[in-house]
Structure 1
Amino acid sequence: MKFERMEIRAFLDELASESPAPGGGSVAALCASLGSALVSMVANLTIGKEKYKENWQLMEDVVAKSESLRFEFVDLMNRDTESFKTFMAAMKMPKATEDEKCVRKKAMGEASKLATEVPLLTLEACVEMTELAYLAAKNGNTNTISDAGSAALIGEAAGKAAAYNVKINLPGVTDETFAADFKARMTEALLQLSTNADKTTEILDKALQ
């Protein structure tokens, strides 16, 4: 069953169970989707308010992007768990002969690549989401500035959580070119993620003294 079709209680029960999936990667994507929804709320509560008329177009652009990200994060929730199951299936492949060992090793390498790429995509999407949260905090309805700030911090936490999942799976990526690319992308994304969160926090600290 797709996670978005589950009731909240059922999802939490599944998360808390002895099953290793869903795990941190799916939770990171879930949290990021909630942050995106908050950004959309701030933008929607700005559009149509005469006081913020000059920002309506910007907020319309923000809500279009944040809604797209919201659904992307939900998809990443499912893909993260699916990639883990693929890796576990590869681990269980037979290894009695040299040929079987070779096939298993190749399958595990491909599965590790997928299990690394999915949380990396979550991290990179969190960078986009926190940039939107910054725009919402800076240009949105001031009555909802705390929501924009919350979205930025949620996005930062979700992105960092996703990065942990990249790091733990990265050693299993046997393709050195892919591994180097994943690591470089992760490092760059984490820097931008912190920048977005920090500049949003600065706005909140000044506004909520």
Structure 2
Amino acid sequence: MDFCALSVKDFLKKVAEKSPTPGGGAVGAVVAALAASLGSMVANLTIGKKGYEDVEGHMESVLETCEAESVYLCELVNKDIQAFDQVMSAYKLPKATEEEKNAREMKIQQALKTAIEVPFDLARRCKNIIISIERLAKWGNLNVLSDAESAAYLLMAVYKIAYANVMINMKSLKDAEYSAWISDEMSQLDRQMTSTYDRIMDVLGKRNG
């Protein structure tokens, strides 16, 4: 099933069902796509407006990024659900013999890496989009700055969702080198997200003031 093809009402019903999917990761991807769409809206409402001629190049670049990320994030919704289902399937494999136990454990570890990589990718997408939102905060149409602000709030929330999903799957991972690499990458992303978000709020405060 393509969850991004569902209506908003149907997607909400699916989330509310007695099933672990779609869960926080899929919902986070949808919210990040909405944040990107808000970014596209602000860019579109700046391009061609009097007084913003000098920043049209910035707005066109933001529009290109936000549109591409929104499309990608829709695909990530389905990938997140598939990743979780793979983990659950791996845990259900037989373990009666030593050979079955070893095969099961290998499948679990492989599935966990996929379940880590999807929210890790979501976190990186949040970083890509929030960099564009900073450009909107600096140069976007003053009349729709609250929408750029809304996008920044949403992206920070989604980043925290992605972080939580990465960390919960890391608990069962046995590859110490891979875990250390992911932890380091997430720490860098955390610094980038926080610093960009803080700059956005600072700029918006000045422009709105």
8 Å CA contact 1:28–1:158 kept in 2: the answer is yes
Deviation readout 1:148-180 (Å, 9 max, x if unpaired): 111111111111111000000012222222211
Q: TM-score, normalised by structure 1?
A: 0.97
Confirm or deny that 1:22 pairs with 2:1: no
Q: Where does the alignment leave 5 or more consecutive residues of structure 2 unmatched? A: none
Deviation readout 1:112-135 (Å, 9 max, x if unpaired): 000011000000110111111110
Matching residue of 1:43: 43
Matching residue of 2:144: 144
Q: TM-score, normalised by structure 2?
A: 0.97
8 Å CA contact 1:152–1:196 kept in 2: the answer is no
8 Å CA contact 1:160–1:190 kept in 2: the answer is no
8 Å CA contact 2:36–2:69 kept in 1: the answer is yes
Rounded Cα–Cα distance in structure 2 between residues aligned with 1:115 and 1:49: 44
Rounded Cα–Cα distance in structure 2 between residues aligned with 1:192 and 1:73: 20
8 Å CA contact 2:138–2:204 kept in 1: the answer is no
Structure 2: which amino acid aligns with 1:118? V
Rounded Cα–Cα distance in structure 2 between residues aligned with 1:208 and 1:52: 17
Confirm or deny that 1:79 pairs with 2:79: yes
- How large is the RMSD of aligned CA atoms in angstroms? 1.0
Matching residue of 1:53: 53
Count matched residues.
209
Structure 2: which amino acid aligns with 1:75? E
Rounded Cα–Cα distance in structure 2 between residues aligned with 1:144 and 1:83: 37
Q: Map residues 115-194 of structure 1 onto 2, 5 A cutoff.
A: 115-194=115-194
Q: Where does the alignment leave 5 or more consecutive residues of structure 1 unmatched? A: none
Aligned to 1:18, the other structure's residue is in SS state: coil
Rounded Cα–Cα distance in structure 2 between residues aligned with 1:89 and 1:136: 43
Shift of 1:208: 3.0
Structure 2: which amino acid aligns with 1:148? A
Aligned to 1:118, the other structure's residue is in SS state: helix
Aligned to 1:50, the other structure's residue is in SS state: coil
